[in-house]
């Protein structure tokens, strides 16, 4: 009987290289990045234009957020 294979998702493109820790972190970021991001102004669809720059397709606003997924500063702050 063959060994059980672990599903690594998007990091499978790296093959045997880079180690399991790096690939698991990459898979976590990639999974968060691929979900639909919601515009904080009009609740429309926001798309990533660049590192930390986001644009809403509904209200045409450009705004800043997280580098890979839309995370507002108010949610990041821990008090």
User: Regarding predicted confidence, which is higher, 62 or 16?
Assistant: 62
Q: What is the pTM of this model?
A: 0.67
pLDDT confidence tier of residue 76, bands split at 50, 70 and 90: low
Q: What helix, strand, coil percent values describe the chain, rounded to 5?
A: 30, 20, 50
**pLDDT at residue 5 in the model:** 60
Q: Per-residue pLDDT tens for 18-67?
A: 888 888 888 888 888 888 999 999 999 999 999 889 999 999 999 998 88
**pLDDT at residue 45 in the model:** 93
State which CATH number among 3.40.190.10, 2.30.30.60, 2.60.120.890, 2.20.25.30 fits the domain covering 37-73: 2.20.25.30
Quote the CA–CA distance of 56 and 70 in Å, as a whole number.
11
44 in Cβ contact with 59 (< 8 Å): yes
Beta strands in 1-79, from DSSP E residues, in sequence order: 37-38, 45-50, 53-56, 62-64
């Amino acid at each position: 009987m063959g060994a059980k294979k672990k599903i690594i998702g998007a990091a499978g493109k790296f093959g045997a290289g880079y180690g399991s820790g790096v690939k698991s972190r990459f898979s976590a970021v990639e999974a968060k990045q691929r979900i639909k991001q919601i515009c904080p102004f009009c609740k429309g669809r926001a798309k990533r234009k660049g590192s930390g720059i986001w644009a809403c397709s509904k209200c045409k606003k450009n705004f800043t957020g997280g580098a890979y997924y839309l995370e507002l500063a108010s949610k990041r702050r821990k008090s």
